[in-house]
Amino acid sequence: MNIPVVVYILGRVLQVEAAFMALPFFVGLIYKEQEAFAFLIIGAVEFLVGWVFSRKKPESHSFYAKEGFVTVSLCWILMGIVGALPFVLTGDIANPLDAIFEMVSGFTTTGASILTDVESLHHCSLMWRSFGNWIGGMGVLVFVLSILPLAGAQNIYLMRAESTGPSVGKLVPKVRSTAANLYKIYCGMTLVEFLFLLAGGLDLFSAVTLSFANAGTGGFAILNSSCAGYSSYVQIVLTVFMVLFGVNFTVYYLLLTKRVKQAASCEEMHWYLGIFFVASALIVINTLGSFDSVLEGVKHVAFTVASIMTTTGFCTVDFDTWPEFSKVILVGLMFIGGCAGSTAGGLKVSRIVIYLKSVKKMFAQYLHPRSIKVVKFEGKQVEHDVIRSVNMFLITFIFIYVGSMLLVSLDNHNFETTFTAVAATINNIGPGMDVVGPTQNFSGFSPLSKVVLIFDMLVGRLEVFPILLLFAPSTYKK
């Protein structure tokens, strides 16, 4: 383990997070909130600590997958803890554990909240919550890679550890250029959504915070009613952009480089959109009569399906009151999630497709033992190592899920609450069902359960293995 390189990168990340705190500070100044100085104080101290960590460049630049996993995991944990300090200092979230829960939920784009009254927060804190969703959406390490040289040619290990999906490759030969291209697309789409929301009559603060939370598929709203109080136009804009941010960003890069045919042939995107439309149609049929008109039903159902599938977590209606058939579909969507390489969470559509094709292959081999079948995805053969990797991911995911449920069940909530609370956090969704439904929150859980759910949020965002490797003694051996 090359500790000096890890410490150096941690220092640079702390400096970047400190710089990010300038936004809520200036927002607080605009609204004449003295609490804004909490962000200035914490940011200044964090920047100084980051400078101490990174003032000396490491002599050895040896940096591989092991260092990448550890660095990314420590960065996200540190960011969550430090990012929570302003909440405690302002008094908006006085309990340190609750503040960490809220900030980790923000950075991991989970959107699960312990707040019972969001509207009571100061503007600077509201901005920091939503901005945290945006920072975490694409990944802070991807951002740092796009602006700073860190580990030379080994930067790909950082990107792979932080990015979502079965595999991560480079869009262009240089990793830094890949990261920069991803963030240009991300910023551009966020800006376009912001302009659409402004055109819908939203004030500047609401348009900015909603754009941040929606782009990162994090779902931190600034109203207690989430998105129920906004106009139909705003809700439709949010629906469209939730779906767009759930698509693999490689598709947008291909479109920008005029490779339209290649972008349109993306198999994962076809499955993703197909699942979205089929799920929406089934729920619309199942909820007929629950809304004043069919069009209103389509609007709310499409919004909810997009919100759950992209793991954004916004809501316009209380879907916990829908028929059981619709609720079961929504729970299924919680696990499917969005596309690999998007800002969405969940298992990812690409993994689901590979699982289905692997099952089909096994059936074919049972029927025709001598035949040779291969699994193809995106027009290419899926190597055995990739299939083994996605299978191990699922097995490990299930073990963590079951273990988390056992620990959270000690709070003695009903099964629906316990099951969906873990599902909502490990899949980075936000709302679950019953006690953690769209009109409820996570404040009623014990400190132990909150720690477990914080762990689940990190496991879900970093896709299991980077976090688990922190607890493996062999990780730290030379």
d(CA 462, CA 336): 16
Indicate the angle between helix axes 96-107 and 123-138, nearest 10 degrees: 50
Give the type of residue at 27: V
Tokens of 174: 């240089």
Of 112, 45, 125, the closest CA to residue 84 belongs to: 125
φ, ψ at 361 (rounded to 5°): -65, -40
3-state secondary structure of 17: helix
Q: What is the pLDDT of residue 161?
A: 58
Q: What is the pLDDT of residue 138?
A: 83
Per residue of the chain (478 residues), give pLDDT as tens. Answer: 778 888 988 999 999 999 999 999 999 999 999 999 999 999 999 999 999 998 888 776 666 677 778 888 899 999 999 999 999 999 999 999 999 999 999 999 999 999 999 999 999 999 999 999 999 988 776 766 665 555 544 555 565 656 655 554 555 445 667 778 888 999 999 999 999 999 999 999 999 999 999 999 999 999 999 999 999 999 999 999 999 999 999 999 999 988 999 999 999 999 999 999 999 999 999 999 899 999 999 999 999 999 999 999 999 999 999 999 999 999 999 999 999 888 898 999 999 999 999 999 888 888 888 777 888 888 888 888 888 888 999 999 999 999 999 999 999 999 999 999 999 999 999 999 999 999 899 999 999 999 999 999 999 998 888 899 888 887 777 6
φ, ψ at 397 (rounded to 5°): -60, -45
pLDDT digit string, tens, across residues 402-460: 999 999 999 999 999 999 999 999 999 999 999 999 989 999 999 999 999 999 999 99
Strands (E), 363-455: 376-377, 380-381
Of 349, 352, 345, the closest CA to residue 456 belongs to: 345
* H runs (alpha helix) in 266-348: 267-286, 294-309, 324-336
CA dist 125 to 37, 82, 222, Å?
Answer: 11, 14, 10
Residue 323: how many CB atoms within 10 A of its CB? 12
Give the type of residue at 305: V
Give the type of residue at 113: S
Of 426, 447, 443, the closest CA to residue 108 belongs to: 426
Cα torsion angle, 282, 441, 311, 425, sign: negative
CA dist 394 to 51, 166, 399, Å?
Answer: 39, 11, 9
Q: What is the pLDDT of residue 448?
A: 97
φ, ψ at 381 (rounded to 5°): -70, 135
Q: What is the pLDDT of residue 173?
A: 47
d(CA 223, CA 243): 22
The pTM of the full predicted model, rounded to 2 decimals, is 0.92
Residues 6+ apart with CB under 8 A from 383: none
CA dist 397 to 264, 401, 445, 463, Å?
Answer: 31, 6, 22, 9
Indicate the angle between helix axes 204-215 and 123-138, nearest 10 degrees: 30
Give the type of residue at 214: N
Q: What is the pLDDT of residue 407?
A: 98
d(CA 79, CA 6): 15
d(CA 51, CA 108): 25
